[in-house]
């Protein structure tokens, strides 16, 4: 399966259903009164973690997700049916960001569903507007639009420990030895092309999750090699195990390898570079002539050093014990805090007023929807529409631009005389 850990999608919650304009009709009942029901609520957009998913591949082929709209109200005080929520399943550890700002909207790493966008409320039917003085209201409220947002999904694996190091230093072999994971193992660079997770058992009831990150190289933080794509997968890790080939089998200096990887971590994320590290000198079954100098160099920098051979399993239990002791001192796996603030609703607030040869033109699509449900021949219905004009600030803007009684005001396909 192709591994995809980033995707961009468009989300739209359902619109609320419109309220109904209706009047009770029954034999022998002369004036039954208004009985228009309310519209139903639009469906929410809900994200849930799915541990059976390990990639965002599905979101490469479908980019737009819309929840259903609520049903309109009906006569007989029958409310419209609320729409079902649209449930979107993602791998655990998926971070959702608002596309433009890249602020965090949600971190799908817990067990609870996350309601990301809310559906619009249903509009009131005309039965809601009946009063002793307004007994036959011929208008109803429209349903509110559902929230919408363009987001990026970014998978950040949830692991306690991240295995880092140059390609072909033995990380995959070490993961296969410590856990039941079955990574591809071969004697060439970039054998591992996707992050791999394994559960390491310490004792009965105690374990930790270990992530093998594809080999980093110099320039990884700038997009060179595979590192740039996968460094994000160790951002949650509580600590790192830095695997270094101390045999020199690749013709490189273990000290230079160690410094290069740490420099790349720092360039990518300073907080990540500051995570606790245990340094592992691997391939000691091949050659140990460089190990003494490397151990001294690492320990002088304050790191714990362990000698190991993943192939022969020498030192592997010591590594597990050291990691477990360190983990008990560290806080839980990091959860990304929400940094996105939803803008205030703009429903009914955006409009433009322009002077024309015949009078004034008002551009306000939301107002056209209200006007479409207004009975302009009914006095009370017209008062409701005029109140919407006044509350939105359109009347004040018309007056500010010099509108006088009798001037023609055009809204969509409708024209009427301005009256203050």
pLDDT tens track for 316-363: 999 999 999 999 999 888 788 899 988 755 545 578 888 888 888 888
73-82, 189-198, 250-259: range with lowest mean pLDDT: 189-198
333 vs 88, residue with greater confidence: 88
61-65, 87-91, 99-103, 195-199: range with lowest mean pLDDT: 195-199
pLDDT at residue 7 in the model: 93
**H or E segment and range at residue 366:** helix 365-372
Q: What average pLDDT does the segment 146-159 reach?
A: 90
Asked whether 155 and 135 are in contact (CB, 8 A), the reply is no
Listed by start position, the domains of the chain span: 1-155, 161-327, 352-417
The yes-or-no verdict on residue 418 having pLDDT over 90 is: no
Contacts of 317 (CB under 8 A, 6+ apart): none
pLDDT at residue 396 in the model: 86
**DSSP one-letter string for 182-245:** -----SSTT---S-EEEEEEEETTEEEEEEEPPPP-TTGGGT-TTHHHHGGGGSS-SEEEEEEE
The yes-or-no verdict on residue 226 having pLDDT over 60 is: no
Residue with tokens 């409220």: 141
Q: What is the C-alpha separation between 265 and 267, in angstroms, rounded?
A: 5
The rounded percent of the chain whose pLDDT value lies above 90 is 37
Q: How far is CA 352 from CA 190, 250, 346, 360, in A?
A: 58, 68, 14, 10
Q: How far is CA 92 from CA 153, 234, 244, in A?
A: 12, 14, 30
Task: Give the CATH architecture of domain 1-155.
Answer: Distorted Sandwich (2.70)
112-116, 149-153, 192-196, 232-236: range with lowest mean pLDDT: 192-196
pTM above 0.75, yes or no: no
Span between the terminal Cα atoms of the chain, in Å: 67
Highest mean pLDDT among 87-91, 267-271, 336-340, 396-400: 87-91
Residue with tokens 């391939």: 283
Q: What is the C-alpha separation between 99 and 117, in angstroms, rounded?
A: 15
pLDDT at residue 187 in the model: 46
pLDDT at residue 108 in the model: 95
pLDDT at residue 212 in the model: 84
Indicate the fold that domain 352-417 takes in CATH.
GMP Synthetase; Chain A, domain 3 (3.30.300)
The yes-or-no verdict on residue 1 having pLDDT over 50 is: no
Asked whether 395 and 405 are in contact (CB, 8 A), the reply is no
Mean pLDDT, the chain, integer:
84
Q: pLDDT band at 223, cuts 50/70/90?
A: very low
Asked whether 11 and 43 are in contact (CB, 8 A), the reply is no
Partner residues linked to 115 by β-bridges:
46
In tens, the pLDDT along 170-194 reads 888 898 889 876 644 444 344 445 6
Q: What average pLDDT does the segment 277-299 reach?
A: 92
Residue 76, number of CB atoms within 10 A of its CB: 13
In tens, the pLDDT along 235-258 reads 888 999 999 999 887 788 999 999
68-72, 78-82, 185-189, 258-262: range with lowest mean pLDDT: 185-189
- Counted residue by residue, the chain has a size of 420
Q: Which CATH superfamily is domain 161-327 in?
A: P-loop containing nucleotide triphosphate hydrolases (3.40.50.300)
pLDDT at residue 182 in the model: 66
102 vs 272, residue with greater confidence: 102
Q: What average pLDDT does the segment 41-60 reach?
A: 91
Q: What is the C-alpha separation between 206 and 203, in angstroms, rounded?
A: 5
The rounded percent of the chain whose pLDDT value lies above 70 is 86
């Amino acid at each position: 399966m192709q591994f995809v850990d980033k995707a961009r999608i468009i989300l739209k919650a359902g619109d609320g259903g419109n309220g109904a304009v209706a009047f009770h009709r029954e034999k022998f009942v002369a004036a039954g009164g208004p009985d228009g029901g309310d519209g139903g609520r639009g469906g929410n957009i809900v994200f849930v973690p799915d541990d059976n998913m390990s990639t965002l591949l599905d979101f490469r082929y479908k980019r737009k997700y819309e929840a259903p709209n609520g049903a309109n109200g009906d006569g007989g005080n029958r409310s419209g049916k609320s729409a079902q929520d649209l449930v979107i399943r993602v791998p655990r550890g998926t971070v959702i960001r608002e596309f433009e700002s890249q602020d965090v909207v949600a971190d799908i790493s817990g067990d609870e569903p996350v309601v990301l966008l809310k559906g619009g409320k249903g509009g009131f039917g005309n039965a809601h507007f009946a009063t002793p003085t307004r007994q036959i209201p011929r208008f109803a409220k429209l349903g509110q639009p559902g929230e919408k947002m363009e987001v990026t999904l970014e998978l950040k694996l949830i692991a306690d420990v991240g295995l880092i190091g140059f390609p072909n230093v033995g990380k995959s072999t070490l993961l296969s030895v410590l856990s039941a994971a079955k990574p591809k193992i071969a004697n060439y660079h970039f054998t591992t092309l996707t992050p791999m997770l394994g559960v390491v058992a310490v004792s009965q009831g105690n374990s930790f999750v270990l992530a093998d990150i594809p080999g980093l190289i110099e320039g990884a933080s700038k997009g060179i090699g595979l590192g740039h794509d996968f460094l994000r997968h160790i951002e949650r890790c509580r600590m790192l195990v830095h695997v270094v080939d101390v045999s020199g089998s690749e013709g490189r200096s273990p000290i230079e390898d160690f410094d290069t990887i740490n420099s790349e971590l720092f360039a990518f994320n300073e907080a990540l570079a500051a995570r606790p590290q245990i340094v592992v000198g691997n391939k000691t079954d091949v050659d140990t002539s460089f190990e003494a100098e490397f151990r001294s160099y690492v320990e002088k920098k304050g790191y714990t050093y362990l000698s190991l051979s993943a192939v022969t399993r020498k030192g592997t239990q010591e590594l597990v014990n050291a990691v477990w002791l360190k983990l008990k001192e560290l806080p839980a796996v990091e959860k990304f805090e929400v940094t996105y603030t939803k803008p205030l609703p703009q429903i009914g607030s955006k409009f433009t007023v322009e002077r024309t040869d015949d009078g004034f033109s008002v551009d306000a699509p939301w107002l056209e929807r209200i006007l479409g449900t207004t009975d302009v021949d009914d006095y009370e219905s017209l008062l409701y529409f005029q109140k919407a004009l006044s509350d939105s600030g359109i009347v004040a803007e018309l007056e500010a631009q010099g509108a006088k009684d009798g001037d023609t005001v055009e809204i969509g396909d409708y024209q009427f005389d301005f009256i203050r």
